[in-house]
Amino acid sequence: MQIDKIKWLYIARFFSLTGSQILFFALPLLIFKLTNSIFYSGLAFSIEWAARLISFPLSGYCADHFGSKRVYVLTDLVVGGLCILSLLLMLIFQGISLYVLMILATSAGFLSEQGYVSAESLAPKLVSSQYYPKSQSILEILELMSLLFGPFLSAIFLIYFSLNHLILIAMIFYFLSALAMKIIKVEGHTANTQGNVVHELLLGFNVVKEHSYLIQMILLSMLLNLLFGLMTGSAPAMVVGIFQKSDHFYALLNFSSGLFGAFVIILFNYALKHISILKIGIITFLLACFSCICFGFIHSYLAYVLIYAFFYGVNALFSIFFRSERARIIPKELLGRTIGSIIFITFLFFPLSGLLISISEQTIGLQNLVMLFGILCFIFGIPTLLKIRQIDFVKADEAAS
């Protein structure tokens, strides 16, 4: 059965994503509380995502060349090892804690994307094409469940232990993820990548270049990811710095986002019976821009949580639209390299969002920054939305005929 083939992938992803969410919770807070500076918080975010960008195209090549399962297991084991090494270094050399944390964030970011693309390229090989959209929605729900469980576990843990000990908990989840992936019974699924490495990497970009629809989706995703980077990268400074709340309120922010996201994902299958997945993509993009514009007008922590959670939920729906449509278009034999290339392109603005956060403290402020780019992304996204809307009209005409 297809569920039997893919269930261990779901379990492995849940463990890995939970570990990632715990690190995502702990590291920005540790850096901000250590420096009390929006500049260093934004800089760390920017460096981490620069490492992720470098990883994206390489991850597709590695998944196809060495095998998705092998790469996934290795990366989670290495991240787990780096977690315990970082704790030891901070314990022995407390004066270099900031650098250790930034290196851990950068290394974990690089390796996590290797695991993400490996899982994305392995999933279609475990199930039939008919089951794949459902498997994508399940993977998206798992991401949101980890967003619920990670911060909730972190908040409970902080009652009894210190913030930096969360790194140890993240290590345990990464090791559990590697163990679950090892259980999967699957062939190596390595592609023929005997040519020049640069040529192999360019194959993914060539697939993108040949599909106009894919290009339009990527452009929208780039804009939305810029907003996502601004929203998530500024979260520690907003909660702890601007609203003067404790670590537990930062956990509550992430927990609320996961809860609302899980709710809208549950409604996704129902909505899909009444509206095309393409329309869902268009609507969620517009709602994401709208929520960022509203971000500039909030004056309380509660309003911030509501706007942040709403943005997270509509972003999750857009992610399902994007992942399902790209999987339908991309040839399976080039899936790893193409997904790696696509993710590299769509996250190009993430390091920029970190730099913008760093300089916002001395210029227009975080809230005005997010609002400004919400307006700009809406303006620049309209031409692309109109082109995609035409594609939806063509699909409707074909279905009618």
pLDDT per position as a tens digit, 147-203:
667 767 777 777 777 778 888 888 999 999 889 888 877 655 455 545 555 666 677
**Mean per-residue pLDDT, 32-45:** 79
The secondary element (H helix, E strand) that includes residue 19 is: helix 2-35
Spatial neighbors of 146 by CB under 8 A, at least 6 apart, are: 14, 17, 18, 20, 21, 258
Percentage of the chain modeled with pLDDT above 70? 84
pLDDT exceeds 70 at position 333:
no
CA angle in degrees (0–180, nearest 5) for 143-358-242:
75
**Domain of residue 317, CATH code:** 1.20.1250.20
Spatial neighbors of 71 by CB under 8 A, at least 6 apart, are: 59, 62, 63, 114, 115, 118
Q: Which of 196-200, 346-350, 366-370, 381-385 has the lowest mean pLDDT?
A: 196-200
d(CA 33, CA 25): 13
Q: Which of 30-39, 83-92, 185-194, 306-315 has the lowest mean pLDDT?
A: 185-194
Spatial neighbors of 270 by CB under 8 A, at least 6 apart, are: none
Q: Which of 84-98, 175-189, 382-396 has the lowest mean pLDDT?
A: 382-396
Confidence of residue 209 (pLDDT cuts 50, 70, 90): confident
| Total domains present in the chain | 1
d(CA 131, CA 328): 12
Quote the domain boundaries for residue 6: 2-189+197-400
CA 86 to chain centroid, in Å, comes to 23
